[in-house]
Amino acid sequence: MLAYRNGDAAAFEALYGRWRGRLYRYLAHQARDEADELFQDVWMRVVGARAHYEVAAKFSTWLFRIAHNRLMDHFRARGRGIVELVDDPEDDPAERLPTQAEEAPPALLERREAARRILDCLAALPAPQRETFLMAEESGMTLEEIAKAAGVGRETAKSRLRYALDRLRRCLDGLRGTVN
Amino acid sequence: MIERDPQLSEAYRDADHPAPSPVLDAAILDAARRAVAPPRRRRWFAWATPLATTAVLVLGLSMLLRIREEAPENLREALPPPPAIRTESAPAALPDTPAEADAQPTPAAKAIDTAGLPGPAGGATQPAGARSAPGPAPAPASLTPAAASSEDAAAQVVPEPRPFQAPVGSAPQRETLRPAPSAPVAASPGPKQADRLERAVPAADMAREAAPVFSQSRGQPKAASPAAESPEQRVETIRQLLRQGRSEEAKMALEELRRRYPAFDLPEDLRAIRRENSSGH
């Protein structure tokens, strides 16, 4: 990114090639219909912020921080409750009830192929957990970096990730049990 | 340490994920390239340096030409007024014609000319009297056209003299009185320059009075222009001509003196000659 800041366009191409798929998946699994728009917007923000870029964190942390903020703006514009985006539903015992997908795994198994099961389970996760899981899978960041990118504390990020993994396991186990 | 589930990670990686389209990739990469590409205006800036240099040169040259054009005027304004020196003892001879004499620049004028404008110095025509004269009056540059202007100005004050008719058979003398080659001067001054030269007429006249002209070939005193000679100088010249036995020339010079200075009180000896001349006619 420093090379690109200094005018090296090839450096941006390398960065883009390395992160385009991961970022797009991160966005697409959270805002499927507007993924292209959000994806382009995030990269334009990266391009626009190049002049002020300083090595204060890993590029992935900086990139996913931008993507996270853009997603928050998008969700706010779409009228989604800020509580859903920010608060961790796992802190509320009521949120631990099974989701709709978990309640009807046979229907999901019928509609989706095995390779896509995880995506359906992922889509059924609460937004903060899904985002944390996607950050962990796509960026390879540590908990501290995920927490920084998401703008939360480390323990919050850890909790979200743990709940996300638990839900996904239960989701996949339920699907397997249904299939079997 | 981040908590991971290998089975979940494997299932996630094997899933069919969406990917950005090539069109989207191209659009983003193109925008990124354009953001760091040299702006188009830099192409204009490439012309800025030679353009600025050319402009500076043109302006500098025009200013230099203007300064050179106005330098003589500034020099005249800076110099003190010339003293009224009359070299009565300096011998002088009448020129063949007033026009010829008028067209002949004085050494003092040449000195100013060479000082004000670059050109060949008139050292060969610089008379000793003019060099030793204390502070010769400055005269305008390029006296050839200036003489006409100065004479025009003088004609408003004194009657215009008739053209001087050279006596028959005076070719040797004419050769003697032929003006020395002068420094090259402007052939035809513009209106602005002529106006400046007209303003400098008094200084030129006084310079002519103070600086006698010598023949370059024989070293004899050459008559200053009639317009520049004072009546006293003309009287001396006439007396000198009489002593040399050139009575005809003396009479013509006397007539010229009378025409130029009708109010001048002639000395007794010249009055007698004038009376003889009148009675002769």
- Residue A49: CATH number of its domain: 1.10.1740.10
Nearest CA in chain B to A35: B20
**B33 contacts on A by Cβ (under 8 Å):** 9, 12
Nearest CA in chain B to A22: B19
Q: How crowded is the C-beta side of A111, counted as CA atoms within 13 Å?
A: 10
Whether the full predicted model's pTM is greater than 0.90, yes or no, is: no
Q: Kindly tell me if the per-residue pLDDT of A64 is higher than 70.
A: yes
SS percent in chain A: helix, strand, coil, step 5: 80, 0, 20
What are the b/e assignments for A48-72, b being 16+ CB within 10 Å? eebeeeeeeebbbbbbbbbbbebbb
| pLDDT tens sequence across A161-179 | 999 999 988 887 765 555 4
CA A168 to each of CA B63, B207, B257: distance values in angstroms, whole numbers, following the listed order = 86, 116, 133
Q: Is A12 within 8 Å of B2 when comparing Cβ atoms?
A: no
The shortest C-alpha distance from A62 to chain B (Å) reads 17
Residue whose C-alpha is closest to residue B109's, from B206, B227, B234: B206
- Amino acid sitting at position A22: R
What's the rounded Cα separation, in Å, for the pair A144 and B82?
97
**B39 contacts on A by Cβ (under 8 Å):** none
At residue B110, the pLDDT reads 45
What's the rounded Cα separation, in Å, for the pair A148 and A129?
15
At residue A110, the pLDDT reads 45
Q: Is B3 within 8 Å of A36 when comparing Cβ atoms?
A: no
**A144 contacts on B by Cβ (under 8 Å):** none
At residue B176, the pLDDT reads 44
Would you mind telling me the total number of residues written for chain A in this entry?
180
Q: Kindly tell me if the per-residue pLDDT of A137 is higher than 80.
A: yes
Q: Output the average pLDDT for chain B.
A: 63
Q: Kindly tell me if the per-residue pLDDT of B220 is higher than 60.
A: no
- Amino acid sitting at position B243: R
- Across A62-85, average pLDDT: 79
| Domain residue limits at A88 | 2-179
Are B90 and B234 within 8 A, CB to CB? no
DSSP string for B217-281: TT--EEPPPTTT--HHHHHHHHHHHHHTT-HHHHHHHHHHHHHH-TT----HHHHHHHHHHHHH-
Which 8-state DSSP code applies to residue B88?
T
Number of domains in chain A: 1
- Amino acid sitting at position A93: P
At residue B71, the pLDDT reads 73
